[in-house]
Copies of this chain bind each other. A is one copy, B any other.
Amino acid sequence: MAATIRDVARASGVHVSTVSRTFSAPHLVNAETRNRVLAVAEDLGYRPNRAARALTTGRTHNIGLIVADISNPFFPPLIKAAQAHARTRDYHVFVADTDEDPQVEEELIQTLAKQVDGVLLCSPRLSNRVIERLHAEVPFVVVNRRVKGMPTILMDVGQGARLAIEHLTGLGHRRIALLSGPSGSWTSGEMRAAAAAMDGVELVILGPNAPTERGGLAVAEEVIASGVTGVLAYNDLVAIGLIEGLYERGVRVPDDISVVGVDDIVAGRLNRPKLTSVAMPTAAAGRMAVDLLLQSFDEGATPTLATLDTHLVVRESTDRAALFPRG
């Protein structure tokens, strides 16, 4: 049987309201009493009721975390890092999945707004205009989208795309396909912009593609027809699906075509060939998102912008361009 606030009050010799205040407004309780109450609470294993505390502090100590697709392995490391970090700050994280649907995303934000202290919005598919409007209802931290006036964390995928394409051109590839992602994706836009700005590359942009293995399988035929020898895929799932689709059509990776993914997920490391990939700082972004959100509670929404570096991990799916490419 867990200890109640009454048990703590009785054992400390104070009124229950003093125990309540000790947890919700400790600065209003004198130090001696406060220390006694906290020591007794610890002895008895008393856990303050979050809901009750929320009534006095206006805080639920819950954070919402919204992702585009929970089954995309890009998100779990971010979710788990945010959760673990939030727990050390006495917050719980609840996750909702928008299924890549902007309407569902908006609905979930409105529901969460009433139940949590703030929302981490990861890879949103909503327009900036709608995000700015919803921001009036609940504090946000936005991950992988640049939105005016709110704390933002960007993973520098443009830099990653440049590293990937330099790696391919360094191996002698000239004609390179960029497989873009979903149309609402900031990441996809950044990759396109970075790739289009590079010299010495014949860039072929194919997409939008579903950000899944299926998306990669579906674009394989087009990749072969485009006559490229190198490919930068929107993410590792697309890269893995593409490699499978090429393999089924007798095109080998990296012998015939080199493929680079993005995200550096575990499945890419276990793929055969092991995937060359742009590693994204997902765990760091998850932790930082929690920090920026909690800071914004204390100090008002400082529109901090943090940009985190990406880097390229070279494995087996990229090699020198064939001298006489197919097609």
Contacts and interface: CB of A to CB of B under 8 A. Distances in A.
Given A80-B71, A97-B95, A115-B115, A241 B213 contact: no
Contacts of A94: 64, 94-96, 112
A96 B92 contact: yes
Nearest to A267: B267
A219 interface: no
B62 A70 contact: no
A270 interface: yes
A50 interface: yes
Interface in A92-124: 92-97, 99, 104, 107-108, 110-112, 114-115
A92 to B, nearest CB: 5
Interface string A270-282: 1110000000000
A51 interface: yes
A108 B104 CA distance: 24
A73 interface: yes
A240 interface: yes
Interface in A233-260: 240-241, 244
A5 to B, nearest CB: 15
Nearest to A72: B76
A71 B76 contact: yes
A94 B241 CA distance: 30
A87 interface: yes
A93 B114 CA distance: 15
Q: How many copies does the complex hold?
A: 2
Nearest to A107: B92
Nearest to A54: B114
A70 B286 CA distance: 15
A306 interface: no
Interface string A180-221: 000000000000000000000000000000000100000000
Contacts of A244: 270
Interface string A25-68: 00000000000000000000001011100000000101010000
A227 interface: no
A79 interface: yes
Nearest to A272: B272
B76 A111 contact: no
A172 interface: no
A64 B115 CA distance: 13
- Closest 10 pairs (CB-CB, A-B): A71-B76, A94-B94, A51-B114, A95-B95, A272-B272, A267-B267, A70-B76, A92-B111, A244-B270, A94-B96
Contacts of A213: 266, 270
Given A93-B96, A94-B112, A240-B270, 19 more contacts: A47-B110, A50-B114, A51-B114, A51-B115, A62-B111, A70-B76, A71-B76, A71-B79, A83-B97, A84-B99, A87-B104, A92-B111, A95-B95, A95-B96, A95-B97, A115-B115, A241-B270, A244-B270, A271-B272
